[in-house]
Amino acid sequence: MSVGSSQKDDASRARAVHAVRKRVPAAERREALIAAAVHEFALSGLHGTPVDRIARRVGVAQPYVFSLFAGKRELFIAAVEFGFDRFAEAFSQAAAEYRAGRAPAHCEDVLTAMGTAYKQLLVTDRDYLMLQHQAYAACDDGVVRARVRRRSAELMALAGELSEAESEDLDDFFRHGMALNVAAALGVAELSAGCSWVQDELAARSSG
């Protein structure tokens, strides 16, 4: 065997080994694409996010994305579902921590513990906050709206089961949560006419 032939064989084997190392199971690629979709859709929503941007984030070609998802809407819904799963996980963990006596000292009941966990999630994982807003914005699409409504209902039911709270208290919990979403998106601590940031904005308008 010539030296040239041996070198070619070595190169072929190296490429084959490299290909094996690079091969990633479809299930792992799907998870990676959903994680990338959470970030990208949080930034620019269902209609403003090109699929190839999500594909590039994972290092795959756009056609490969459509081998795992029927279309961009299906990928968007998968990302939204992932966000709801994250909220459900946060609620469940907070309830378990409260019952185990490990909740923050100010938490007087399970609802307070879940609310505290949710606030922390809005701070540490802003993508989930913004994706939630993008999900509501995309509800003109009937398929998206149906899925968001169902997952919202399931999250409300879960909070009720975990907290065993009265309906009125549960309603207040979710109303406050929606206000927190808006406040967090605006980058402020709370929403009320007397807030310092409201007065600052009005004062700036007057001076401008």
Give me the residue spans of the domains in the chain: 10-207
Nearest partner of 95 among 73, 119, 115, 71, judged by Cα:
115
pLDDT for residue 119:
93
Q: What pLDDT score was predicted for residue 206?
A: 82
The predicted structure's pLDDT at residue 15: 52
> What is the reported pTM?
0.85
Q: What is the mean pLDDT of each run of 10 residues along the chain (208 residues)?
A: 53 47 81 97 97 96 96 98 97 97 95 96 92 97 98 97 96 95 90 88 84
Predicted local confidence at residue 189, as pLDDT: 85
Continuous H helices in 138-166: 142-163
Look at residue 107 in the predicted model and tell me its pLDDT.
96
Burial of 203 per CB tally in 10 Å (0-12, 13-18, 19+) = exposed
For the record, the structure tokens of 77 come out as: 């819904």
**Angle subtended at Cα 133 by Cα 128 and Cα 137, rounded to the nearest 5 degrees:** 140
Task: State both tokens at 155.
Answer: 């999250």
d(CA 54, CA 69): 13
Q: Which CATH number fits domain 10-207: 1.10.357.10, 3.40.50.300, 1.20.200.10, 1.20.1440.120?
A: 1.10.357.10
Please tell me the predicted confidence (pLDDT) of residue 26: 87
∠49-145-46 over CA atoms, to 5°? Answer: 0
**H-assigned helices in 49-109:** 51-58, 62-68, 72-99
Nearest alpha-carbon partner for 69 in 22, 41, 23, 37: 37
Q: How far is it, in rounded angstroms, from Cα 148 to Cα 86?
A: 14
